[in-house]
Each structure stands twice: as C-alpha cells, then as structure tokens.
Amino acid sequence: MIGIIMGSLSDQPVMQEAAKVLKELGVAFEMQVVSAHRTPELMLTYAKNARERGIKVIIAGAGGAAHLPGMVASLTSLPVIGVPILSSNSIDGWDSVLSILQMPGGVPVATVALNGAKNAGILAAQILGTSDEILAIRLDEYKEELKTKVTEMNQELSNLSIL
C-alpha cells in the first residue's frame, strides 16, 4: 500500500493526481492530512508506524516551507517521494521545490516536479513493481498507452497538414 500524505487539505487537488494514477494501476493507497507544523506528533506516529501498517512507499506533498517530506524521511527507512506544491504562501513554488530537493546526506527524498503528484504516483508504483510482476506488467501497459497517445497526436497533426 502507498501512503499519500499532505500538509493541508488545500493540497488535495494536486495530490489527488497520485491517487488517480494509483487507482488506474490497481495499487492500494490511503490519503491523509499530516502537517509537519500543526500536528508534529501525528507526523511522527504516521512515519514511525507506516511499515507496520503495510505502507511500502510514502508520497508526501507540501507547499511553502515544505518540511513534511523531509521530516517523514528522517523518521522512516521507507522510500519517501516529495511533491512540492505551489501554495498560496509560496514563492513561485521555488521554496517548496528547494525545501524538498536539498536534503542532507543520509536522508534522501525522491523529488518530483512542482505539482507533480501524478509522477509521484507512477514512481511509487514502479518501486512496488520491482517485486510485483503483475504490477510491472500493468506499468508496461501504461507506458505503451502513452506511446499510443503520441502516435494518435501525430496522426491528428498530419491530418491538419497541407502538402
């Protein structure tokens, strides 16, 4: 199971993209608000108990100072994928990106693009797919669908071309 956590409910529209792709791939997940600043005890409990509850990868989204992914990564040996979120108190998202990206040695956080929760969901599924052959096949099929969509786009463009 994948744990999807975010610092505030206002992050949910972005983080929902991770949930959508995980659902499409048939991967179980849970989603919760876990604030590093407003509920540090909840964050500590979530991170420390995640493995016991069956969580295999944590996707943590946060805006502004974006401490949630790094703090969670400091408390667990599970892989943590950080999603920087462009929030109302953000400096064009750069504060969130750099807060998640610039982790000290020994506390890695895989970081996706600003508002890149969809890619975080795919990456989490790929991590699980290293030991789940059925999921790996679903991921291969997903990638093939991406190729098909590009082929269809090119066909559409060629129909517009005048020679």
Digit-coded pLDDT (tens) for 40-77: 999 999 999 999 999 999 999 999 889 999 999 999 99
Identify whether the C-beta of residue 5 lies closer than 8 Å to the C-beta of residue 33: yes
Q: What is the CA radius of gyration of the chain?
A: 17
Share the mean pLDDT of the chain: 95
Length of the chain: 163
Beta strands in 90-157 (DSSP E): 110-111
Determine the Cα–Cα distance for residues 97 and 24; give it in Å rounded to an integer: 27
Measured CA to CA, the distance from residue 72 to residue 80 in angstroms comes to: 8
Structure tokens at 144: 């093939």
77 is in an annotated binding site: no
Q: pTM, whole model, 2 decimals?
A: 0.93
Q: How confident is the model at residue 163 (pLDDT cuts 50, 70, 90)?
A: low
Helices assigned H by DSSP within 62-108: 68-75, 94-101
Sequence-distant (≥ 6) Cβ neighbours of residue 128 within 8 angstroms: 2, 27, 56, 57, 135
How does pLDDT run across 96-137, given as a tens digit for each residue? 999 999 999 999 999 999 999 999 999 999 999 999 999 999
132 assigned ligand-binding residue: no
* pLDDT value of residue 138: 97
Compute CA distances 118 → 51, 65, 90, 113, 114, whole Å: 23, 21, 20, 10, 11
Question: What is the tens place of the pLDDT at every residue in 4-51?
Answer: 999 999 999 999 999 999 999 999 999 999 999 999 999 999 999 999
35 assigned binding-site residue: no
Q: Which residues are registered as beta bridge partners of 62?
A: 84
